[in-house]
Structure 1
Amino acid sequence: MHNDYPYEYEICADMDQIGESTEHRNLEGFNILFYVTEAIGGLLILLVIIWTAHFKGGFAWTSDPDLEFNWHPLLMTVGLVFLYANGMLIYRSQRTVRKRRLKLIHGGIMIFTVLLTVIALVAVFDSHNLKTPPIPNMYSLHSWVGLTTIILFCCQWLAGLVSFLYPMIQPSLRAAYLPVHVYFGTAAFIGTIASCLMGLTEKAFFSIRNPSYDKFPAEGVLVNTIGLTLIIFGGLTVYLVSQARYKRFPQPEDDVLLTGRSK
């Protein structure tokens, strides 16, 4: 029996090496794609800042409805695009962090996204209602898709909060809900990108007058560039989230939730 122990240790060591090599092989290309995605996301925010601050006159609150509107595209880009994407990627970009902490970070990012989204919605409704004469609300496809996406996002956040952080939920139920959470989370993110593209086009048609949008003014070129950057950022994010080979490997402590219980 004594001679069996070294053999068992060798098997365990070999299994650890196989697991490490498999994870390393699965992660090939992840880091470079992730950092490229982050750089494009940073560029996207910078382009929106240039557009709203330089071409649209900057920011204000209710004292100037036109300038109050500018908070809407900026905060939506920061919150419901960039932070949302990072919230989805946190489990893959921070794979060495304990899952309990990742859950809290993920939830925190999402609730901050909700906060920015609410402020952005207040800004756009104020900018319509305080205008002289007032601008109608919720008539465009952009507003319909956008509000639907926000409702889906908030439902996702609440369902995830209960399913993954409430300690009394059975692990089997968590496991069953996880693919649903991932699918609708990705669907809401795609809806966000689509809504942003619609909003950019709508704003460009309504506000670029002199020279007109079809004359390729600098603002129009910038708006189109923002749209292309949105598509690239969204495409890379969905790719990184959807690739099974980039999935975080389970760790022994993953089953221990907030109560300290395991399966």
Structure 2
Amino acid sequence: MESFYQFVCVFIASILFGSLTIVLVLIWVFEWREGLAWDGGSAEFNWHPVLLTIGFIVIYGLALIVYRLPWTWKFSKLYMKYIHAGLNIVAFVLVVISLVAVFDFHNAKNIPNLYSLHSWIGLTAVILYALQIVTGLCVFLLPATPAWIRKFYLPIHVFAGLFIFGMVIVAAEMGITEKLIFTLRSKSNTTRSYSQSRPVAILANTLG
């Protein structure tokens, strides 16, 4: 019973921190980054951090632990598989929209695509995530899949999910830093030091 309450406390803390992350990224884009729009400008780019935070960090993170939620233990494994798959698919759709936004912004501004390490790691994570979803659907939700294949692939699936999530966190941290470097500039077009950073830098660092 003690472990049950400990898990509930950790889960509630995770939800609170996830919600705080969404609030912080929304404050960032609406207070300092021109808000949200779909016009090829900076406001369209802002969909990228917002949707990635919601989809690739919060929803994907929830999908990773859905099997461990105490109130799901009484449900059938098939039911939980559907919930797990559904959360991952929703997260992936949001990720794809966020990528469309950033590519559209770059193309409208004649900015090269996929030139930074952030973009390389991020796109690799997205590709692996797509493969993870497709493979998971085929192995765990197709009735024709033999039981021994499911048993063999399960630990690989679990490890891959955690590994991809780790890549997502790394890419997100790099993306926040990259955006700060691009935007925190003085009139001489040199990057401000952290000691001279505006409140936006403090908020973005807190988000990270």
| Structure 2 CA distance for aligned equivalents of residues 196 and 224 of structure 1 | 12
- Could you give the per-residue CA deviations for residues 212-258 of structure 1, whole angstroms, max 9, x where no partner exists? 3521310000010001xxxxxxxxxxxxxxxxxxxxxxxxxxxxxxx
- 1:54-101 Cα offsets, whole Å, 9 max, x none, are 11010111x242110000000000001100001111101122222111
Given that residues 52 and 70 in structure 1 are in contact (C-alpha distance below 8 angstroms), is that contact kept between their aligned partners in structure 2?
A: yes
The answer as to 2:33 corresponding to 1:56 is yes
**Counterparts of 1:128 and 1:59 in 2: how far apart (Å)?**
16
**Counterpart check, 1:77 vs 2:53:** yes
Which of 114, 122, 140 is the equivalent residue of 2:116? 140
CA distance in 1, matches of 2:80, 2:172: 28
1:217 aligns with 2:198: yes
Deviations 1:83-137 (A, max 9, x none): 0001111101122222111111111111111110110000000111101xx1111
Q: 2:107 aligns with which of 123, 126, 129?
A: 129
Partner SS state of residue 179, structure 1? helix
How many pairs align?
A: 201
- Specify the code of the residue in structure 1 equivalent to 2:139: S
Name the amino acid aligned to 2:206. Answer: T
The question of whether the paired residues in 2 share the 8 Å contact of 1:205 and 1:213 is answered with no
- Per the alignment, residue 193 of structure 1 pairs with 169
Specify which of 75, 94, 101 is matched with residue 79 of structure 2: 101
Does structure 2 conserve the Cα–Cα contact (< 8 Å) formed by 1:60 and 1:67?
yes
Out of 181, 184, 196, the position equivalent to 1:208 is: 184
SS of equivalent residue, structure 2 residue 49: helix
Task: Return the alpha-carbon distance in structure 2 between the equivalents of residues 98 and 168 of structure 1.
Answer: 19
- What secondary structure, in the 3-state scheme, does the structure 2 residue paired with 1:158 have? helix
Matched with 2:95 is 117
Q: Is the counterpart of residue 173 in structure 1 residue 149 in structure 2? A: yes
Instruction: Tell me how far apart the structure 2 counterparts of residues 213 and 116 of structure 1 sit (CA, whole Å).
Output: 34
Superposition CA RMSD, Å: 1.4
Q: CA deviation at 1:210?
A: 4.8
**Which stretches of structure 1, 4 residues or longer, exceed 4 Å deviation after superposition?**
none
* Secondary structure in structure 1 of the residue aligned to 2:36: coil
Task: Calculate percent identity across the aligned residue pairs.
Answer: 41
1:92 corresponds in structure 2 to 68
Give TM-score, length-normalised by structure 2.
0.93
* Bigger relative CO (Cα 8 Å, ≥ 6 apart): 1
Unaligned runs of 5+ residues in structure 2 are: none
Letter in 2 for 1:218: P
| Structure 1: gaps of 5 or more residues | 1-23, 228-263
Contact 1:65-1:130 within 8 A present in 2 as well: yes
Structure 2 residue identity aligned to 1:225: T
Relative distance call for 1:213 and 1:76 in structure 2 (3 A) is farther
Contact 1:204–1:213 under 8 Å retained in 2: no
Question: 1: CA distance between counterparts of 2:77 and 2:24?
Answer: 34
